[in-house]
Structure 1
Amino acid sequence: MAFPRRSSRSPRSRYTLGLLLLTAITLLVLDLPGTGPLQPVRDVLAGALSPVRSAGDAVFEPVADGWRGAVGYDEVKDENDRLKARLEDAKGDDAELERLKVENTALKKLEDVKTQGLKTRTARVVSDPSSSFDPTLEIDQGSGDGVKNGMAVITGTTSGAGGGVLGRIVETRGGRSRLELLTSPDFAAGVALTTGERGVIEGQGRGEPLLIEQVPATVEVEKGDFVYTSGIEDSVFPADLKVGRVHSAQKSSDGQYQSVEVDPLADLSSVYVKVVLKDPPA
């Protein structure tokens, strides 16, 4: 036998719900435009129904607060994400600006490097030595740009104006070349001391001074003296280009010669260099 389903809502709850709805409708009517004359009634009813309104607020306010909180949280999170993105963009812009400043400074320094009428080609260093034992750099100019093996490479100095010998080209491809640094043990170039005495300077490895041997002991050599390229006719290096400064001079055991150690002046960390477009000796 089926029994009729009883409503789970008691008469008291139905009465309370009805009272809340009636209160809401009454307040809406009293708030309509053009009900100014009803202000006294509105005031009386508002006071009388305030307990009911308070009860309704107590029921619905947590829901409203929760909704506003959820919406507010999403808005704050979105704004935070936008600010983070703007901050990352600003950091990227600062890094790019700093890089451009460094390259601009390097190019200005290269403008001071003169080659006495010889043609040169500016190149950018695109690959540093792979290790402390690798005495070479790679540049972005190659055989397709007129660069040949044996050509001299010069760059700005570590301090002051002017240029210094960086090395020479040892390998070329279509759009790339590899140069050997003057610190390489395989590097050698003709040089002249401040006194005019000529000799051959050689590398002894990265981090080590350059070396000029067999300098007559009668030649006066002072610490800090400049050493220049000699510019002899068959040299690939322009004349009077700074190579380094004397670090020390040591006489041989027989007292006839002296070995001169020279600190290189070229900035080995240069971003830009110049290749001297002078054919090497045959």
Structure 2
Amino acid sequence: MPVVIDRVLVTGGTGKTGQLVARQLSLRGIEARIATRNPSSADQIRFDWTDPATHGPALEGIGAVYMVAPTDRTEQLPVIRPFLEQAVLQVPGRLVLLSASSLEAGGPMMGGIHAWLAANAPLWTVLRPSWFMQNFTTQHLPSMLHEGCLYSATADGRVPFIDAADIAAVAVEALADPALASRDYVLTGPEALTYHEVAQAISARIGRPVRHCRLSVCELASRYATFGVPEAYALTLARMDEAIAHGAEDRTTDEVQRITGRPPHSFADFLEDQRAVFASPLA
């Protein structure tokens, strides 16, 4: 008998993709149980990757799991493995991991979790999206509005930025459809853009200049560190920009279209949808 999914555990349920996954599951009549350290509503449950005592209650009655690994370290598998081992025994459906297009199975960060799932989980999916369009309405927004600068170490490298809503749509299909092949899926938007082109598009949207302010890898790592990012993790993030500069992200895929039945949103679509955010007044 095929597994019928009626309840999904959503870790990172208040984050960029998690809240969208929860919303889209609800629209399909599937209950989303949101895992969070500080639950504040009936659909949320206390959960901490580092506290195994919270894992069993979170997994009780769950048919599938959407996993967003902790972002405060460069090696996530050691802390997440106790949860994975329990989930494989307790969850009849699919374990879906949010990873990144730049991370291969067995590599750093979520790559270790990817390899573990492939070796141990009966039903699994690893989503490997390119960089989020939402980065330009969150971490990049203050510098664009206050300084007119979009900082990166990407040089003239291209990125097929993807809308988090498209990632969530693919995640929901993976969670709800046990027939989907267990493998990783590289998810992209429909076009690869340089940060210079992004800055030009945002300039046109907000009606004032935004330019691509180019940094070295070390300068970018130092910038991340000023925001409280641990030094090793800051350097890892900065080196991802360096990989972009060398062409690591310069491609597009058709996975969003193939899995959801519709094309991914373009960057122009995203800017139109987020026009109120980009209209924020300067402080």
TM interval, shorter chain, is under 0.3
Larger-gyration structure (1/2) = 1
Using structure 1 for the length normalisation, give the TM-score. Answer: 0.21
Using structure 2 for the length normalisation, give the TM-score. Answer: 0.21
Structure showing the higher strand proportion among its residues = 1
